[in-house]
Amino acid sequence: MFSIRNSPLLVALLVFPALLVWLGQYLWQQTTPSSDMLQLPATSAGSTIVGAEGSESFDPSDIPSWSGDASERNLASSDSRLIIDKDFIVAGESVQLRLQIPQFRFRRSEPVAAFLQISSASPDAIAAIQDVSLRLTTEQGNTLRDITPPWTHDTTRLHGMVSVLPDDSWPDRLQIVATVITGGQQALRQKADIELFSPAATITGTEPAYLKDDEWLIPVTLLVNQRGVVSLSSSLTEETGALITHLNSREHMAASGTMLIHVRSSLITPSHLKTNLVLRDLQVRLIPDRQSAPLGIGDSVQPYFVLAPFQP
């Protein structure tokens, strides 16, 4: 009788296909982006931040009260910002670097801004810093522009802010790179990812809601720059911020106009009719009619809208 133990070739033929299947699954897992990587960030008016090296903080109470000029204070008061803190050693003393970006995504028509602060309890550590620079680079690290600002020095702190209008030739994905050079030590580099975009559709306002059948309809006005399906997600809240419901609406729009957000009438209580409700957490995307066109990123002229009282 034929025995599989006596046929190494047959064993190999049986095992080899299974090995190929396992290897294919392994390689697929290594190269396929996760759902987190594919997730779209919020619009410029939103608050989603893409990470970078170093520790990140988004708590408004963590923002220092800078005593500098108005531009620094405006940057500090932004509600959609990235703060990266990094600790390192200079002249045997601890030094803290803080790179602050007001938002992850900038419109191509607005300046890209950044604030850099280096501080230490030791004046000797600050004095040992030979050079500090800021550069705007591509994702691959190629320098687009040196954006080093004039630095303000005191015994325990060095800081400065820069604001630069994007060039039309710059790619969508960029990095702001801070470089610190000290005597006898390798240069320290800290970077933050940012993105440039031109809004495919922009929310410009709202109109009074009205009741139709079993739904409240909230008209939202949009400036549309290309034909396609506009997808709008938002949250409807009370004035106190208490959530009423999450909303998702889609509508094909060939030009600027109004799209309707549908809210089940059962969600709006009599007490809601006595107050102003708020539309917030706005995210806009546009799926172009052109098959080869990329997904359009939308925007809003303000991060939230206080709605007129609902009238039955």
What pLDDT was estimated at residue 50?
29
Token look-up 């580099």 returns 189
Alpha carbons 265 and 82: distance in angstroms, whole number = 38
Token look-up 């531009």 returns 71
> Beta 188-197 vs 157-164: how paired, if at all?
unpaired
Instruction: Check: pTM over 0.85? Answer yes or no.
Output: no
And the tokens for 167?
């060039």
Length of the chain: 312
Q: What is the mean pLDDT of residues 78-89?
A: 75
Of 266, 213, 270, 204, residue with least CA distance to 232: 204
Helix (H, G, I), strand (E, B) or coil at 156: coil
What pLDDT was estimated at residue 311?
85
Please give the domain boundaries of the chain with CATH numbers for all domains.
55-197 (2.60.40.10), 201-306 (2.60.40.10)
Taking only the tens place, the pLDDT of each residue in 193-235 is: 999 999 999 999 999 999 999 999 999 999 999 899 999 999 9
> Residues 6 or more apart from 196 whose CB is under 8 A from it?
105, 106, 107, 108, 112, 166, 170, 171, 172, 173, 174
- Please count the other Cβ atoms lying within 10 Å of the Cβ belonging to residue 281: 19
Alpha carbons 78 and 12: distance in angstroms, whole number = 64
